[in-house]
Copies of this chain bind each other. A is one copy, B any other.
Amino acid sequence: MSETPAVPLTIEGSSMLHQLFTFNWKAWRALSAAEQQRIAVAALAKIQAISGPEAKQQSVLYSLLGHKGDLMFIHLRDTFKDLNQVELFLAQTELHDFLTPTYSYLSVVELGLYESTAKTYSALAARDIVPHSPEWNAGIQETLARQATAMASRIYPTIPDAPYACFYPMDRKRGEEVNWYTETMADRQRMMHLHGMIGRRYAEDVRQIISGSIGLDDWEWGVDLFAQDPVTFKRLIYEMRFDEVSARYALFGSFYVGLRLPLENLPNWLTGSLG
């Protein structure tokens, strides 16, 4: 157990919940316009009451394309308890009667620190500090605390205003021969670095939020991309598919694409218009 650990250091921030729903247009259109108006206004007021512009209080909405859902919420909060309370609040609105959940995703915004990990593990090893000893733990905590402070805006992000979002969950493969979790730290660090280089070339066009969900939901990570032009999602992910870490080790869940629906446009959307 005194060998260098294989797990990369990771810092966590906001708790995150994606909620996807289909909307029951048939039941909705059976209501009078006044009823629709009343329900829409009440729902909007409730969402506005429980969310805000602060990083850990955001609830933003997307109009989804295709049959996988009509509306998607992304909620960012301080704790899972806060997220659960948001779910319960939304469930008390009348609008919720017209929503059928089709998917959800529970995760925590995170930043994997491959570079820092390598440096920290090396530095501690150079001082002959045994992994998991109190001294080692203190060294690790110091790195984590320093990074959490430096990277606060990335682990407690504000959701970009971009008109399009793309969400998908993913795993690293643990096949019989190709297995991310048995690769050396150095190899993983190298591959993640090259992977990051591609992302950097797209940084102007695509912003991303990575959240970790090992032990929390059915895939290991959730990825949210935000862009002006949704074709950029395709170009970025296609290019990445050829880099080693994606080509050999990535497994993807479903992809969900939607248009940002500013909260105040919800009543309009409920009349069938993107405004």
Query: Which residues of A are at the interface with B, using a C-beta cutoff of 8 A?
Result: 1, 5-7, 10, 12, 17, 19-20, 22-23, 25-26, 29, 63-68, 80-81, 83-85, 87-89, 91-92, 94, 96-97, 101-106, 108, 132, 163-164, 166, 168, 174-179, 181-182, 194, 197, 201, 212-218, 225, 230-231, 233-239, 241-244, 246-248, 250, 254-255, 257-259, 269, 272-274
Contact = CB atoms under 8 A, between A and B. Distances in A.
Contacts of A248: 174, 179, 181-182
Given A233-B215, A238-B10, A96 B25 contact: yes
Nearest to A261: B84
Contacts of A105: 66
Max count, chain B CB within 10 A of own CB: residue among A20, A94, A178, A197? A178
Contacts of A201: 132
Contacts of A247: 174, 179, 181-182
As for how many copies of this chain the complex holds, the number is 5
Q: What are the 3 A-B residue pairs with the smallest beta carbon separation, nearest first?
A: A215-B237, A66-B104, A181-B247
Given A6-B242, A177-B176, A255 B215 contact: yes
Nearest to A85: B274
Given A19-B67, A233-B216, A197 B1 contact: yes
A109 B257 CA distance: 17
A272 B91 CA distance: 7
B84 A274 contact: yes
A1 B67 contact: no
A58 B27 CA distance: 29
Contacts of A215: 166, 168, 225, 233-234, 236-238, 255
Contacts of A7: 238-239, 241-242
B257 A106 contact: yes
A217 B85 contact: no
B164 A80 contact: yes
